[in-house]
Amino acid sequence: MADAATSQNARGDTRLKFIESTSALMMEMNSIDVTLLQIAARSGLNSALIKYHFGNKDGLLTAVALHASERNMDALNQLVEAKISPRKKMEIHLTGLMQLYWHHPYINVLCQYILRHSEEKYKEAIDKKIMQPFIQLQNTIIRQGIEAGEFRNVDPEMTFYIMRGACDSLIDASQQMSNASRIRGMSQAARLEYTHEVVNMLLHGISSHPLV
């Protein structure tokens, strides 16, 4: 049994090393178009192990997306049930969403690639484990806010796309600018200020009684 546990831990370590190496490469290259050879070189592991652990490259990319979103999804689940106002929930949620994009700027492009081009099982994993739970949980907070009189009667689906677009906007802009390295080097203070401004604008937009 000890040997089996050791083997299982080794498999977990190998999977995580591939996931973290792929994530780091995508951030450095500002692209999800990384090769198996690049991933293998970065991880120090044989590229043949990717097929063993993930099935193929898209299986690895799906694992990267799920790993990047896992902590945010767990926090969102807890937030929905928290005994605080819907407005405060939305503020915490949006701040967490911005942080997800800061730490994993490839997340939206990666999910869209998988949903459009990958095998059905990978599309289903992204849809069922990221997209649908995220939309449903965010919609729950919006409904709570409407019922509490804190939010106006907004369309939850439209609100989802607006919020996602706001979070994605700086990442898109940085890819189009010739001085993208300066954006990547943005200080923590500047990132916090940007997050604060975006969150305030979005909350103001859905509030039933906007602060002036």
Give the per-residue pLDDT at 198. 85
Which architecture, in CATH terms, is 1-55?
A: Orthogonal Bundle (1.10)
Give the per-residue pLDDT at 30. 87
Q: Does 64-206 match 1-55 at the fold level?
A: no
For the chain, give the number of residues.
Answer: 212
**Interval 106-115: pLDDT, tens:** 999 999 999 9
Q: Which two tokens stand for residue 12?
A: 């977990």
**Interval 8-43: pLDDT, tens:** 555 679 999 999 999 999 999 989 999 999 999 999
Average pLDDT, integer, range 147-157: 92
Q: Kindly report the CA angle at 162 between 156 and 165, in degrees rounded to 5?
A: 140
pTM for the predicted model, two decimal places: 0.84
pLDDT exceeds 80 at position 3? no
Annotated domain spans of the chain? 1-55, 64-206
pLDDT exceeds 90 at position 1? no
Give CA–CA dist 42/39, Å, rounded: 5
Assign domain 64-206 to its CATH superfamily. Answer: Tetracycline Repressor, domain 2 (1.10.357.10)
pLDDT exceeds 70 at position 100? yes
**Interval 156-203: pLDDT, tens:** 888 888 888 887 776 665 555 444 444 455 667 777 888 888 899 889
Give CA–CA dist 189/90, Å, rounded: 22
Give the per-residue pLDDT at 185. 53
